[in-house]
Structure 1
């Protein structure tokens, strides 16, 4: 984040700032194609980067859960957010804990075929 006192305020300060800018050379043609090939395909979902502050303990728990699920932490966090949003969806009809336990007791254990 920049501070206001660091911004140029006059035409001379802007000119000096612009003169101080430097740019990287454009990539060589063979490197340019490699960069283009690394882009996501046209029509791909756009991903937004968010900064997230977590307490150390929560970050460690997320890392452990992601390792157990064999996915990157960002994928695990995204899936957790998607699940939380699905639970809060307008058409969701939550049930009581008693109803959930009653439904679970009616399930038969899975039979494992050896």
Structure 2
């Protein structure tokens, strides 16, 4: 610990600390059941919390994109990360929407036999 100012330094200080310890009462069976019910089910996906610093303009853009898709900012960011990781894993190269539309307009319609 870098801040050991509050730690006891003598046997008397340790004894005083130990003598003055107090413990919270044990939870009632109902509180214990509520706590257990609040836990994720066994085998549930484990989620890791990450702290992320974004410029305000980028955060505003993420907020708008998430709102437009009807999802939370967290879900939108998670999906964006998953998309990039998938593209990298498959050695895929993204193209612009304009290039995709241009390529689609060059396709001829399929003629189906009647």
TM-score (norm 1): 0.66
Give per-residue Cα distances to partners, 1:41-72, cap 9 Å, x unaligned.
Answer: 10011111101111111111111111111111
Query: Does the alignment pair 1:56 with 2:70?
Result: no
Query: Does the alignment pair 1:37 with 2:37?
Result: yes
- Corresponding residue pairs, total: 103
Unmatched 5+ stretches in structure 1: 109-114
d(CA) in 2 for partners of 1:25, 1:107? 73
Task: Tell me what 2:3 maps to.
Answer: 5
RMSD: 3.4
Unmatched 5+ stretches in structure 2: 109-114
TM-score (norm 2): 0.66
Q: CA deviation at 1:78?
A: 0.7
